[in-house]
Amino acid sequence: MATEVVEVEGHIIDSLILAKVLDAILDAGAEYRIVDVEIGRASTDTSRARIEVQGPEDVLATLITELQLHGANRVEDADARLEQSELDGVLPEGFYSTTNLATQVRLAGHWTDVENPEMDCAIVVRDDGPARTAPMHRVRAGDKVVVGLDGVRVQPMERPRGANPFEFMASEVSSEKPKELLVGEVAERIRLAKDAGRKVLAVCGPAVIHTGAGPDLARLVRGGWVDVLFAGNGFATHDIESNVLGTSLGVLLKEGRPVEHGHFNHLRVINEVRRRGSIAAAVEDGYIPGGVMYECVQRDVPFVLGGSVRDDGPLPDVYSDVVEAADAMRAFVPGVRVALMLASTLHAIATGNLLPAGVETFVVDINQAVVTKLADRGSHQALGIVTDAGLFLAILADQLCN
């Protein structure tokens, strides 16, 4: 049997962090003994607990990594161990795999923040700069990579204190929460982010256009409430189709009926944009008269369109290489405070993998299973709103733009 001592500190009682740590230990088949605990008395006081964990060595190795997800860190004074990568894109054996929580590493006796928290990455320490996360493909031969668990600690996510409309019916995902109240709270979070000089990210699926919500999202972009847009070929194509031909997937948005030969309307607009070379060029010469992509070009709002194997065309602005698409998305993550995931599964999960845990993330979809997937894949900060994305955007645009 092996033994480790871990410590967790913060608002660990009201955020249920201590309970989650103890549950994780028991679920893994290990045992624990609380060595020391200090409970804060006032609501602003933090608490601290030191816990001795005992179990088989192989179980303990995995368990300690899991406990770090809750902010329970090993009690030790060792510096982080560094090993050099031998090949481009290949990490040393036993590399430390990051979470999306704020992380620190101990170097030369001092704790230093790891830049750009992102899940499933390595921590690279360079002589000419700070420690930072790096996806596997960005690691180069000779890079110093953190290996093992020594000298690494993470900070747990704590439950916001005080009254909060999102505390109504405490589950993270529910179809029974009052939608207008939730949308109003999202609008307030966006205002606070903008007042603080932070960015708002919108991640959109084609259903935003199919439901007729394109004009509402365009209003938000035009009003300066959206700073970055992530989407795919389908979203941009149908946004352009709806503004050039009045249809989305060949269905008239104002009448709800299909038009003759409308099934290839999207191919027509893709072809015309490809003829002009880019979405921006199609806006500049008047081919695209309005819509979300139009407003992004007019307002200099950056967008990243990540492609997939099923794309028609695609549009010339679409990244067909998924690694390049993810890197392009990473470039716009710093500074994001609020992320809106709107009727998107593929791009929402991809974006969730890139976002630090501190980004307030709202997942809006009519399908509750889709809303749950993001949290299942590690984005535990995501809050699900089960509703039609079109209705959500209409209310949000009215609250922010009027």
Which CATH number covers residue 386? 3.40.50.10690
Residue 5's CB: how many other CB atoms inside 10 A? 14
Number of domains in the chain: 3
219 and 363 in a common domain: yes
> Does residue 284 lie within any of the structural domains?
yes
What pLDDT, on the 0 to 100 scale, is given for residue 167?
Answer: 44
* C-alpha to C-alpha distance for 95 and 99, rounded to whole angstroms: 13
Phi, psi of 122 (to 5 degrees): -95, 165
- Label the pairing between strands 199-204 and 336-342: parallel
390 and 360 in a common domain: yes
> Does residue 251 lie within any of the structural domains?
yes
Question: How far apart are the two ends of the chain, measured CA to CA in Å?
Answer: 64
122 and 64 in a common domain: no
* C-alpha to C-alpha distance for 287 and 144, rounded to whole angstroms: 51
The token duo for 376 is: 């299942």
Task: Point out the residues of the chain with pLDDT beneath 70.
Answer: 158-177, 375-380
User: Packing angle between helix 233-244 and helix 214-222, nearest 10 degrees?
Assistant: 100
Torsion angle, alpha carbons of 34, 40, 45, 50, to 10: -10
Amino acid present at 21: V
The token duo for 289 is: 């008269």
Longest dimension (CA), the chain: 74
Domain of residue 303 covers 165-401
- Report CA-CA distances (Å) from 74 to 4, 60, 88: 7, 12, 31
- Label the pairing between strands 103-107 and 152-154: antiparallel
> Does residue 386 lie within any of the structural domains?
yes
CATH number for the domain that contains residue 121: 2.40.420.10
> Does residue 111 lie within any of the structural domains?
yes
> Does residue 160 lie within any of the structural domains?
no
* C-alpha to C-alpha distance for 278 and 293, rounded to whole angstroms: 11
Q: pLDDT tens digits for 288-315?
A: 999 999 999 999 999 999 999 989 999 9
> Does residue 4 lie within any of the structural domains?
yes
293 and 196 in a common domain: yes
229 and 138 in a common domain: no
320 and 211 in a common domain: yes
Radius of gyration, CA atoms only, the chain: 24
Helices (H) and strands (E) in the chain, counts: 13, 21
> Does residue 159 lie within any of the structural domains?
no
Name the domain boundary from 126, 154, 182: 154
323 and 176 in a common domain: yes
The residue among 12, 7, 28 whose CA lies nearest residue 72 is: 7
Phi, psi of 269 (to 5 degrees): -70, -35
DSSP state, residue 97 = P
* C-alpha to C-alpha distance for 219 and 402, rounded to whole angstroms: 10
205 and 103 in a common domain: no
291 and 252 in a common domain: yes
96 and 63 in a common domain: no
The reported pTM is 0.86
